[in-house]
Structure 1
Amino acid sequence: MADLTFFQVALNTVNMAASLRFYSEIFGFANAGGQAAWGDVMKVQGLEPDGQLLCWFMVGRHRRIQFEIFQHSAPDTRPQPFDWSPVDHGWVRVGIAVSDIDGVLSRLALRAIAPMAPVCASHELRHFAVRDPYSGIIVEIWEDGPGLPGGSHPRDNDYDPLIMYVTSSVADIAVARHFYANILGLPLLPLDTLHGASDEALWGLAG
């Protein structure tokens, strides 16, 4: 089986310009342009050809990993339900490593965005989580350093943020493990490689 390469994180936003500014000014992702789409290509997302959307790209430290941010206008992007939880099905969280975690905290504070729980330390590195105000997902921010889970990444450009991981919440963990390990051929790592049970409190769960 050919090696698989993770190359995008796609999210829907209710405010494209605000999302681009959020990920650029807070974390340092770079604007990589965008495009509008309509017609048959909409079927890729399970939508009708008479729909339309705007898609924008942002890049960080990785050479071949990018954010793809979508705002639909037919049908309109729907905000998450008020009672949404990170245990709801779907992809729910992204982890980003930055070299200046204090700077990120300061810039979030200027926008009145507070961590969902106190900043904690694991692997001798600080990390915390916030709720993206425009897409609704959880963003976990890690301090970059030698102990970073999964390893740090060489700089192929001048951009700082590093996409570490994404998390999806599934109905059947055994089926999901079979799909990723046996169908896609990806290695399964121990759960504590990245998080312990107590880390669930960072994004508002009991742990």
Structure 2
Amino acid sequence: MSDVAFYKPGSQLGPLFWKGPEAVTDAHIAQVALCAHNAGKLRHWYRNVFEMAPGSGALVSVPPMPTRRIQGIDPNPTEMVTWLVDQQDYFQLEFFQFYRPRSNLKPTAWRPCDIGYSIIGICVADFDATMRRYAAHSDVTLPASVGQSGRRRTCVRDPEGNWIEILERDPLEDIEASTPGIVRPELGAVVRFIRVSVPDMERAQVTYVDALGLVEVADATLHSDEDEALWGLPGASTNRVLLRGSNFLVELVQYFDPQPAPRPAGYQICDQGVMNIALGFRTPEQFDAAFVRATGHGLRPNGKPVDVGIFRVMYVNDADGFSVEMLCARPSLWSLSGFSPGGAYVQNEVLIRAQPERVWQRLIDHAGLGDWTLFRGRVLRPGAPAEEGPGCVRELKALGLRITEEVVSWEEGSHYRYRLRSGAPFRWHCGDVFVTAEPGECTRVRWAIRFESWLPFTGKLTAWVLGRIFRRALVQLKQQLEAS
């Protein structure tokens, strides 16, 4: 039997890697958490540079809520948590702002070899555009990249000194039987790995393999000795082990030269930097089984698991002080726990029993939009080289509105992006249309829209209305194509 990857977004079992009839691993990484001196500003930076989307909602924890019993922070903290979501299912970047106790700043002399979670790996959809956005939102010189076109990489630091490796190619694509699990392709990035500097490799493998269920990748590597120069450690001597979950890579690194510094005296996970990662589970039963496994292999929980309805959670710690969150965020309540995009974000998909080429031609017929949408369309300016492609400006009329939009990105037969130019009360607007072939001579169409409204407090309501309009339009398109 050939190697096959199966993935169904939102399924109760979650994404699995399959190699033949047996799953390689079902350990799913659901979060990378950062503690920030200014969490709002840091989140804004990641959103703008990597074109991620805000996660819905926010959490505020104040005493006497039992947060200390979950996180192990003393005294019982006062904190605010916000999120960003990327392209993948059931994942978020989590941003903590601690008001009590205050986060201690990262030592000035901190290096990526020092003990702790050290480098976040982010794969981007458009490397050049990401670097331009990084330059626009940073006050440092744009770093050089390494690698050939299609495999370029570079390392940068965010405004609070955390190291990020930016990759043009998704590292999961180089690992046998893996599946990217992309559910929001219109976003600009997907977080794919964390690098961990550990004092003892054998103890670290007990934590991340035996206790947490990650598996070693024997047929691929993430970095070589030469790559140490990317984060300022040329000539470093290390031992590296690459592990994977169903959606994510964890690279364990033990440094021999230079000698890594231990964590500062009095360190707590609320101090500035990468706090931890979280393993995500879809059901309480999966959580409970994994919790028994983790504690059975020596991980120390801060208390008994806490269930607040939205999620079931507990932080566990290993012998070297590494924290890992164990989390069951119930899928039906992701809008409250930040795993769903928040604000003005419209997503609609439809499966059509028609060939992709036929579907694509209908979708790019800008003048014929009125045949299946509320809007009557006409082309004001053709694009080049494809008339329907980049540079094409279309006019849409409906309900007294006259809207103009321009096609700004184009992948023939599979995707185009357009932006609003005039006629609607939006400060910013971006739409994406995707066409993908499905088994049985079917085609999946995804239409996603993101925007910021000029009118205060109207974003969610406007998104709800637009969602219904575009859902109805896609149903109409489906009916017409399947009837002809």
TM range (shorter): 0.7 to 0.9
* Mapping of residues 1-207 of structure 1, within 5 Å: 3-32=26-55, 33-39=57-63, 40-48=66-74, 50-110=76-136, 111-115=138-142, 118-121=144-147, 125-134=151-160, 136-144=161-169, 148-150=173-175, 153-157=180-184, 158-190=186-218, 193-207=221-235
Per the normalisation by structure 2, the TM-score is 0.40
| Aligned partners of 2:80 and 2:97 also within 8 Å | yes
Q: CA deviation at 1:183?
A: 2.7
* CA distance in structure 2 between the aligned counterparts of 1:113 and 1:43, rounded to whole angstroms: 40
| Aligned partners of 1:124 and 1:147 also within 8 Å | no
Structure 2 unmatched ranges of 5 or more: 1-22, 236-484
| Aligned partners of 1:153 and 1:162 also within 8 Å | no
* CA distance in structure 2 between the aligned counterparts of 1:31 and 1:65, rounded to whole angstroms: 12
Give percent identity, aligned residues only: 29
* CA distance in structure 2 between the aligned counterparts of 1:29 and 1:90, rounded to whole angstroms: 25
Q: Secondary structure at the match of 1:84?
A: coil
* CA distance in structure 2 between the aligned counterparts of 1:19 and 1:145, rounded to whole angstroms: 24
User: Quick check: which one's strand share is greater?
Assistant: 2
| Aligned partners of 1:149 and 1:193 also within 8 Å | no
Residues 126-181 of structure 1, C-alpha deviations (whole Å, 9 max, x = no match): 000111222x2211000136985446725312322111101111110111123322
| Aligned partners of 1:61 and 1:159 also within 8 Å | yes
Of stretches 151-160 and 136-145 in structure 1, the one that deviates more from structure 2 is 151-160
Q: Larger relative contact order (C-alpha < 8 A, sep ≥ 6)?
A: 1
Q: Secondary structure at the match of 2:152?
A: strand
Q: Secondary structure at the match of 2:147?
A: strand
Q: CA deviation at 1:38?
A: 2.0
Residues 51-83 of structure 1, C-alpha deviations (whole Å, 9 max, x = no match): 201111110001111111101011112220100
| The structure with more radius of gyration | 2
Structure 1 unmatched ranges of 5 or more: none
| Aligned partners of 2:75 and 2:101 also within 8 Å | no
Q: CA deviation at 1:194?
A: 1.0
Of stretches 185-194 and 79-88 in structure 1, the one that deviates more from structure 2 is 185-194
* CA distance in structure 1 between the aligned counterparts of 2:77 and 2:140, rounded to whole angstroms: 33
Q: How many residues align?
A: 205
* CA distance in structure 1 between the aligned counterparts of 2:179 and 2:112, rounded to whole angstroms: 26
* CA distance in structure 2 between the aligned counterparts of 1:48 and 1:78, rounded to whole angstroms: 13
- Relative distance call for 1:68 and 1:125 in structure 2 (3 A) is same
* CA distance in structure 2 between the aligned counterparts of 1:146 and 1:168, rounded to whole angstroms: 17
* CA distance in structure 1 between the aligned counterparts of 2:202 and 2:37, rounded to whole angstroms: 34
